[in-house]
Structure 1
Amino acid sequence: MASRPIPTSVDTVIVGNGPSALILSYVLHGNIPYYNPAKPHPDPILHTKLSPSCCLLNINIPDLTAHFAASRLSYSTQALPVNVLLDTLLRPLADTDPEGYASCVEWRLEEDRKVRHLVLGNTAQAGGQWADNPVSASWDIGTLSYSEMLSLPGYTFDDHYRKTHGGPVPDFYRPPRGEVAAYLATYPSVVGIADSIYTNEEVQDISRVDDGFHIGSHNISCKNLVLASGTFSNLIPPRPLLRPLNALPQPNHTSEAPLLVVGSGFTAADVIIFTLPTRKIIHIFKWDPEDHPSPLRACHPRAYPEYAGVYRRMKLAAQDAQGPQGTTSAMRTKKANPFFKERNWDQVYEGLPNTCIKNVELYDGSALLTLETANGNSIQRKISNIEYVIGRRGSLSYLDESIARDIGALEDQIPINKALISGHTLRPKVEQSLEVALNVFVTGSLTGDSLIRFAYGGCVFAAREIMRPSGSRSGTSSSTPSASSESLSTAPSSQLDLQLPTQGAVISAGGHSDLNLDKKARAYASDQEIGKCDMWPEPW
């Protein structure tokens, strides 16, 4: 795709080529979503509101979602209302009765509504961060979401699985990450949007001009700009003291010195899970379950045994660091989770919660670390490699500083090329409108909703505004949402409880939390098993 000439003047440029960019491109190719009254949504109020005007590009979002908080059905209050709305229309009751209702959305090709646009991504194939593998963990890592939650319009993951495997997707299938990457890479050509997709394109120097935007790196002019570059493109770099450890050899599974893993989230767990069972691991992680719990805590042990297993090892290490508790942990008997039978954890794993690295000494192919534990003790450990995976962030360095400040992505005194952003960064702005500045839209994880299932709403919103006839939009200023763009927030941001219909359990989240509770686990999950669910999920 990259060898084709790129047009220098189009209506819209989408920066990024991940799932949200692909969904939006599908719509801008004239594939318009409609509500299908013949397949009514199980929410009768929503059905009544949608039936008179079925085109989902004409909907009034606050009116349609105003009753969600009081509904007898389960609607997430973690994701933006527009994202929840499209998710429930595409997959009614997906978390509670996934086989009970068909999609309420049908896609109609309307040639006259096509918009000339470009999708520019820096990965070698379509898929965005799914096409990258920034750490040593395996491509065989299972996704957090089930396969039906990973589908894009026009060609579902089930379609792809049938095509490549010759049969239907197994029940409760969490596909490996590599398989999802292959699906996304195939998607553009299958649904007919490949003409707009350009890969291996490093976008830089976007500035605002009188009639829209100019992309200096490609000499492209456009009227509308969509930011779909995500928040997971860059690993957070280690602090200066640890940077010499980057000179250590790549992980060597035969080395006798341990592998050092630093981090408490999914990527750290992935590294641990896919390290050979006989390899020794030293795991340094933050442990603050009350105020900043690990995202792994949300993983039910039957639905996500590997992640739950790593979390319980961390918990046991934290308990041991506090001294004898007078009870025997179920973890020590290895009965709670089959994941623990795969290796002798007492021999190969050492968890060091809230431990600080105070000094680094490099030797030939190894390093000696001086550590300060949570209780103030000084210890030393020899390591052969390091995986520093405390999190990932996105970058908007391709914008000039005036646009970055206009959309709320940059604070004073921070150069744009140094600023790393998370799902929190633009959240205050997008809760007012996904048009975060005049003719600038955000989709995907930049909105704070990181799962593919919640990407549709932002794409439909952006397509609606982009497709409006010239002169019918008032746009938005840096501080005031567009008169034509309804507010996307229907409830105070502090109302962050997800009501589960099963067992009456409530998951209380201290922030945006959009990892779907495993549908297989709902049949036996109790209030005590679920507990609190504070998490910042990665896109897989």
Structure 2
Amino acid sequence: METDTVVVGNGPSAMILSYILHGWIPFYSSDPPHPDPLLDTKLKSASNLLDLDVDELTAHFAASRLSYSTQALPINVLLDTLVRPSLDTEESGNISNVQWRHMPEKAISHLVFGNSPNPGGQWTEEPSGASWDIQTLSYAAMLSLPGYSFADHHKKGTGQDLAPFTRPARREIAEYFRVYPTAVHIDHVFRCGEELNGISRTANGFYIKSHDLHCKRLVLASGIFSEILAPLPILQPILQTQPTPTVPLLVVGSGFTAADAIISASPDQKIIHVFKWAPEDRPSPLRACHQQAYPEYAGVYRQMKKAALAVDGVPSRRSKPRRGLSNAFLESRQWDEVYEGLSNVEITAVEIEDGLAQVTFRRTDGTTFSRAVKGLVYAAGRRGSLGYLDTKLRTEILKHNNLDSDAVTMQSLRAQAIDDLEVAPGVHIIGSLTGDSLVRFAYGGCVYAAGHLIEGREKQRVTRSACSSAASIQAHSLSLPVMNGIDGHHIYPSDIPEVTREDTVSKVSTVSSSQGWWHTLAHMWKDFLR
């Protein structure tokens, strides 16, 4: 079995890339013009977004009056602002400067493989310790894919227009991603619930041992969130206990997953929250959550900060809460009664007796104390894996980074992504493997990879066409079989990748002239063999 390209992973980035590889090509649309007039001017002369000079187009971003991200890759920032130019400043999230044109002749044969049973990757997994109905961090427009937006999906299901700045439930997004490939007619290339392994490089591309499949190019879209970090061995016994509202649930973690578990818990559920507190060196990502946009996450962070400052003996500067800090979430439970935050403590012992876990903690000053808990949410993070690649190919991609393990994190391939998303010949990375984990920033890498794949395929077509034409003319002139070379070896057009159409026309014209056609023909074959 053979296909041109294999995409590993079936999450949002894989779906965006597949949409483009089906021949849906993005072009810049200046109706209306982009809010950045300089960018608008630059793109009017280069509307095909598969062929971009990213450095030239983004050179002015740092000095622009618009707020461009300085954390994401330039290509990802560029496509994000084109797909959703006014999302952060206007209520209309459906305005776009990208027009998707169907050009079937550009399509590339490909297959998309993913471990998850449905399209959507990690989004299809039931949240650990959290509710399916918890709201997403991103607005619906930031999670929308080309050709069939979440707003389209919402209207199809409810008959109602989507309200501006909607944060959908995770359940809703999982369902949207599940039906997306069918909605845009790309579902026939998706192979969900299938695990690839033993991918190796060959002379002509790659071989996937698990599926006896050959491909010419490989796109890694498996992400950095595919594997949940397991609880430390000392904590494993707590998993045997069942949570009850009257006995605290132990939540371990400083980020969004831990916060999701706290937010999803019933208002009367007692919680002991163990977290790292290092606001200067490694602050919790919850700190960036605005009070109005993300009141529940800001509320959890406020409780964490309050607990950490109490341990450090820092008195409150205000006897009354500041106006505007309270919200419906904070007022939904009696925090002093149900929440206990423990910052920078170490768990030193766990004993199970009669379905109750007695946990011993050690403070930074060496003192210890104990708490009884039932149930555990361990939210210390996730990581990805390149274990589906054989050792040689994995080493080629990772280079000097983490060669003793197949695990990948946000930083594993970031430096290479900054340099080029083609991290090895014929191998591209997209999605969170690039170091940008938000769906809104997936477009850039997908457009970049698709541009390379389509351009490479078209060059190959020109090469084969040119070589075939030249070989036919030469064979006719010499009365020799087309595939016979001047040195007696067989020659195939695919073995001559660098010949262009212009080169061939020039050489064929020379052959047809009366000036030493045999000498010219011999030199032409030598050029082909180089």
User: Do the structures match in fold with TM over 0.5?
Assistant: yes
Q: Does 1:460 align with 2:450?
A: no
* Conserved? CA contact 1:13–1:224, under 8 Å: yes
Superposition CA RMSD, Å: 2.0
Residue of 179, 182, 191 corresponding to 1:186: 179
**SS state of the match for residue 407, structure 1?**
helix
CA distance 1:331–1:269, shift in 2 (3 Å)? farther
Q: Does 1:123 align with 2:116?
A: yes
Q: CA deviation at 1:405?
A: 2.0
Matched to 1:320, the amino acid is A
Q: CA deviation at 1:333?
A: 11
Q: CA deviation at 1:406?
A: 1.7
Unaligned runs of 5+ in 2: 461-530
Measure the CA separation in 1 of the matches of 2:186 and 2:399. Answer: 30
Q: How does the TM-score come out when normalised to structure 1? A: 0.82
For residues 433-465 of structure 1, what are the alpha-carbon distances to aligned partners after superposition, in whole Å with 9 as ceiling and x for unaligned?
000111111111111111111100100010011
Q: Does 1:362 align with 2:352?
A: yes
Q: How does the TM-score come out when normalised to structure 2? A: 0.83
In structure 2, the residue matched to 1:153 is 146
Measure the CA separation in 2 of the matches of 1:231 and 1:356. Answer: 27
Unaligned runs of 5+ in 1: 1-7, 474-540
* Conserved? CA contact 1:401–1:410, under 8 Å: no
CA distance 1:329–1:158, shift in 2 (3 Å)? farther
In structure 1, the residue matched to 2:463 is none
Q: Give the number of aligned pairs.
A: 460
**SS state of the match for residue 369, structure 2?**
strand
CA distance 1:131–1:150, shift in 2 (3 Å)? same
Measure the CA separation in 2 of the matches of 1:49 and 1:335. Answer: 44
In structure 1, the residue matched to 2:167 is 174
Q: Does 1:252 align with 2:248?
A: no
Measure the CA separation in 2 of the matches of 1:26 and 1:329. Answer: 56
CA distance 1:59–1:45, shift in 2 (3 Å)? same
- 5 Å-filtered alignment, 1:497-536, equals none
Q: Does 1:433 align with 2:420?
A: yes
* Conserved? CA contact 2:244–2:374, under 8 Å: no
Measure the CA separation in 2 of the matches of 1:470 and 1:196. Answer: 19
As a proportion of its length, which structure holds more helix? 2
Q: CA deviation at 1:239?
A: 2.5
* Conserved? CA contact 1:30–1:110, under 8 Å: yes
In structure 1, the residue matched to 2:429 is 442
CA distance 1:316–1:237, shift in 2 (3 Å)? same
In structure 1, the residue matched to 2:521 is none
* Conserved? CA contact 2:259–2:297, under 8 Å: yes
Matched to 2:21, the amino acid is L
For residues 93-136 of structure 1, what are the alpha-carbon distances to aligned partners after superposition, in whole Å with 9 as ceiling and x for unaligned?
32123539931111111111110000001111100110012512
Q: CA deviation at 1:193?
A: 0.2
Residue of 16, 19, 22 corresponding to 1:26: 19
Matched to 1:168, the amino acid is D
More deviation, 237-246/282-291? 237-246
Q: CA deviation at 1:470?
A: 4.6
**SS state of the match for residue 130, structure 2?**
coil
For residues 262-283 of structure 1, what are the alpha-carbon distances to aligned partners after superposition, in whole Å with 9 as ceiling and x for unaligned?
0010000000111111111111
Matched to 1:252, the amino acid is P
Q: Does 1:306 align with 2:296?
A: yes
Measure the CA separation in 1 of the matches of 2:141 and 2:314. Answer: 45
- 5 Å-filtered alignment, 1:472-511, equals 472=459
Measure the CA separation in 2 of the matches of 1:324 and 1:76. Answer: 35
* Conserved? CA contact 2:402–2:412, under 8 Å: no
Measure the CA separation in 1 of the matches of 2:200 and 2:354. Answer: 48
- 5 Å-filtered alignment, 1:60-209, equals 60-99=53-92, 102-209=95-202
* Conserved? CA contact 1:305–1:337, under 8 Å: yes
In structure 2, the residue matched to 1:536 is none
Matched to 2:430, the amino acid is T
Matched to 1:341, the amino acid is E
CA distance 1:469–1:360, shift in 2 (3 Å)? closer
Matched to 2:196, the amino acid is V
* Conserved? CA contact 1:312–1:331, under 8 Å: no
Matched to 1:282, the amino acid is I
* Conserved? CA contact 1:137–1:270, under 8 Å: yes
Measure the CA separation in 2 of the matches of 1:108 and 1:66. Answer: 27
* Conserved? CA contact 2:91–2:164, under 8 Å: no
Q: Give the percent of matched residue pairs that are identical in Structure 1 and Structure 2.
A: 52
Q: Does 1:261 align with 2:251?
A: yes
Structure ranking higher on relative contact order (CA contacts 8 Å, 6+ apart): 1
Q: Does 1:41 align with 2:31?
A: no
- 5 Å-filtered alignment, 1:365-384, equals 365-384=355-374
